Amino acid sequence: MSRIGPTSPIVLLIGLIILVAMAMAGLAGTEFALSRYLANAIGQLAAFAVLAISLDLIWGYLGILSLGHGLFFALGGYLMAMYLLKHSFEITATVPDFLQFMGWKDFPFYWAGFEFFPYALAVAVVVTLLVSGIFGYVSFRSRVGGVYFAIITQALVYVAMLLMFRNDTGFGGNNGMTGFTVLFGWPMGTSGMITALAVASLLVLAWVLLGCRWLVGSRFGALMLATRDDETRLRTMGYETLRLKLIVWCLSALIAMLAGMLYVPQVGIINPRVLSPELSLEIAVWVAIGGRGHLVGAVIGALLVNAVKFWLSSAAPEIWPFILSGLIVLVVLVFPNGLMDIAKFKFVRPMGAKRLAADLGESRP
């Protein structure tokens, strides 16, 4: 079992995240407060970092690449949007746009209870566990892995996207759901609410980082790594890898769902585009650039890639796909472990050279 030192990268990162959250909360309402745009961008980046951790947990530590994590992200987002619309309707009596578009006078029956956040959260957890549990059990029991599992997960998210494009599903169809006006009884869109959502996202990110670090550093985490490196040998020794993989897969799905619930109130809209295969591919790119199998790397990769994307989306949106493609090629050909390879190149090699010189000096007569 590995221990977390006070100067370990993950402790420093968690400390920095909490410090930023405290600073944003403390400066809120003053002349030094961050602008709405910057506070909102920080909140979205934190949600994306949580999403990257969810994939790194299953891909980096268990060796199972999922190209469908956008499905669980969208599940959290859609169910959060249902709560926001129903809650807003109960307070403002404003009929959502998608109901007016369909000519419906009332919400579908399965929206009942979504005006209460605990109910919406419980439904999100249950639905996510059902979808991930059934899919994971069938796949892992059949020992589907590698590229085949990745293709099946992408097909799954694509099917979900086609379903959500239908207008008669009661989830907004191709226009999606928007018009969120109230959250927990407080008006949305104000500087205070934007800052509160960003601070909440940062604190959840710190909590998820700490929890996942504890998990991968435990005996259970050692079994995860053993499954990733040689599952056949682990099964030969009598360990049940099916249950282990299913637990990690479902946990990863829950974390992605949580990221979706944090994301939607900050962007103010959810539509089937969040289920597009491109997003699920981008999540894998974040983790690959940061360095899979490193929680800190997954967070840094998500933050860097999306920060550049936010900037280029307004400055030069047409060149972003080429930059993303170039990053993928660079990672595959030069830095297969992402930014972790760069860190090793700069810091580990000189330390190794010093040790080698010391060893040679000690071996002299």
Q: Which domains does the chain have, with CATH numbers?
A: 20-360 (1.10.3470)
Average confidence (pLDDT) over 275-291: 88
| Stretch 138-164: mean pLDDT | 90
CA atoms lying within 13 Å on the CB side of residue 83: 21
Question: Which range has the worst mean pLDDT, 88-92, 178-182, 190-194, 228-232?
Answer: 88-92
Q: Which comes out higher in pLDDT, residue 179 or 196?
A: 196
CB atoms within 10 A of CB 44: 19
Distance CA 204, CA 347 (A): 31
Per-residue confidence (pLDDT) for residue 70, from 0 to 100: 92
247 phi and psi angles, rounded to 5 deg: -65, -45
Spell 253-263 as b/e; 16+ CB within 10 A means b: bbbbbbbbbbb
Instruction: Please return the burial class of 186, using the count of CB atoms within 10 Å of its CB with bins 0-12, 13-18 and 19+.
Output: exposed
The string of pLDDT tens digits covering residues 25-53 is 998 878 888 888 899 999 999 999 999 99
With a pLDDT cut of 90, the percent of the chain lying above it is 46
Residue 342 has a pLDDT of: 67
For the ranges 19-28, 285-294, 344-353, the lowest mean pLDDT is seen at 344-353
pLDDT, average across residues 246-263: 96
pLDDT of residue 6: 54
How does the average pLDDT of the chain come out, rounded?
85
Short-list 40, 89, 91, CA closest to 265: 40
Pick 332 or 353 by higher pLDDT: 332
- pTM score, whole prediction: 0.88
Percent of the chain beyond pLDDT 70? Answer: 90
pLDDT at 317 over 80: no
- With a cut of 80, say whether residue 229 has pLDDT above it: yes
Distance from C-alpha of 139 to C-alpha of 64, rounded to nearest angstrom: 11
pLDDT of 364 over the 60 cut: no
